[in-house]
Structure formats: C-alpha cells, structure tokens
Amino acid sequence: MSSMEIKPLDATLGATVSNVDLSDLGESEWRAIEAAFLKHAVLVFPDQHISREAQVAFASRFGDIEELVAGAKLVLLSNRLEDGSLVDEGEHLEQILRGVEVWHTDSSYMPLASKGAVLSAEVVPLEGGQTEWADMRDAYDCLDDATKGKIADLSAYHSLFYSQAQIGHQVEAGAGYGFDVQHEPLRPLVKIHPDTGRRSLFIGRHAHDIPGMAPEESKKLLNDLLAFACQPPRTYQHQWHPGDVIVWDNRCLMHRARPYDHRHTARVMRHARIAGDPASELAG
C-alpha cells in the first residue's frame, strides 16, 4: 500500500505531494497524481532530486512534450551560461527571463497552446526567484454576472512579440521559440477545461487587442481582469529548494517567476513543457 500523501495548500489551488518517488511511480500512485492534477491544478513534490531523464519521463505521462529547442525535450531556464558566467543585462536571454516575471500562460502565443509543464530546481538564489501561480478557475467563478456576460463571447490575440515589447524588448522574427509565428492565435477570454468542464479566464501578458474593441478599451479590460484574478486566496508562491519538482495545468492557471538579481545570482531551473491536445488547445 502506497504511503503517498496529498495535502491541499492554503489557497484555491495546489497541493503538496509527499512520500512518493517520481523516478519510480507505481500505477496506483500515477492515477492518484493524475486525479490530483485535475483537481488542484498545481502539484508540489519537495526534495525529489530526479534526473533529467526521469523528469522527461514523468512529464511524458501527461502527454507529448513540446521541443522548445529542436531535439530537446528538456530545457534549462537559467541566467547562467555554459561557461559559468551570468548573462549580461539587456541581452536577449536576460530580457526573456525578465518577461516571464509577468503573469502568463505557456505557449498561448503558439498555434497549439500548452497543456502543462514540469519544472525542477537545480540552483536557486538566496533571495527572490520564487514561482507564483494564480487560479483562473476561481477568478472566473468570482466575477460578477455583468462581467461574465460581457466577456462571454470575447477573444484576444496572443503574441510573444507583443508581451516582450511591453517590457521594452523589441525582437526580430525567427529569434527562437515563439518568435517564428506568422499568425497570432485568437483565443477566447473564457476557456472551458477539456477534462473537468470548469470555466476559467484565459488572459495574461501575451493577450492583447480584443476584436471589436478600441485598443485602449481592450487593454483596460485585460488589465482589470488580470488585477482581479491574481489575488489571494487564489495565488500560491513557491520558495524553491534544490530538488523540488512542480507540475501545473496551463489550461486553467497563470504563473510568473519572481524577480532576482540576474547579474550576480545564478538560478538554474529545468523545464519540460507538455503539449496541448489539438482538439482543445489548437487556436481557431
């Protein structure tokens, strides 16, 4: 009998999963994790210290893996370069790392949005560098009826070019994953989860220019929804320790990294991104 324990966090999302080895999951343990993933949307596995191969294998249980870099199912999200030096301020990579410090959903700017992701910590800064998640299911549920009616049939374009430009980062086409999209996907503001049927807000930093609205009206609505959504008790901020592993559901959450000193402190995270099911995540 497995001694695995799933303990909900003190928020509308998330649970900590203990007494389990992600490198050696039994079938009953996997089924419990899968059910908890759909219920809690973010699962925290402390002190796992799994190998890179084991992380990819665990992520693959949830679905196909997106190759953010050709031929690589796992990428490093890090300000530390291969030679051990830290990225210079203002460089392309440093700008990308600053961008993910704003609320977002992975791959919403791609034709096929992401199902989820598995992130693990190798090196963490002493100050900052946490990751925070926000529950877009509860955010939608807590909207007043008038707002729900207003946004029911609205959509927004999603673009990585747009979101990076908001932090002053002008990028040319072909500069890497997300920068080779020719047609910005148009996605509804209200998403129905393909597995649970729950409605949630689908917004974040990549969303912009709602068709039928003036640009400023669109921007205000998206910003107001974002400010309303990302508040306690529907947020959880994780203080990383080396060896921690977290999986989350991009279909009903947003997340962001918290700032740290990119110039003087290393942060090395391993990321495997789970591809969405085309039946529900492919943009229309």
Question: Rounded to whole angstroms, how far apart are CA atoms 97 and 167?
Answer: 11
Question: Rounded to whole angstroms, how far apart are CA atoms 272 and 32?
Answer: 21
- Walk along the chain (284 residues) and give the pLDDT tens digit of each residue: 459 999 999 999 999 999 999 999 999 999 999 999 999 999 999 999 999 999 999 999 999 999 998 889 999 999 999 999 999 999 999 999 999 999 999 999 999 999 999 999 999 999 999 999 999 999 999 999 999 999 999 999 999 999 999 999 999 887 889 999 989 999 999 999 999 999 999 999 999 999 999 999 999 999 999 999 999 999 999 999 999 999 999 999 999 999 999 999 999 999 999 999 999 999 97
Architecture of domain 5-278: 4-Layer Sandwich (3.60)
Note whether 136 and 282 are within 8 A (CB).
no
Question: Rounded to whole angstroms, how far apart are CA atoms 121 and 243?
Answer: 5
13 Rama sector, left if φ>0, alpha if ψ -120 to 50, beta otherwise: beta
Question: Rounded to whole angstroms, how far apart are CA atoms 226 and 231?
Answer: 9
Q: Where are the chain's structural domains?
A: 5-278
pTM of the shown model: 0.96
Other CB atoms within 10 A of residue 276 CB: 25
Note whether 15 and 236 are within 8 A (CB).
no
Quote the pLDDT of residue 182.
Answer: 87
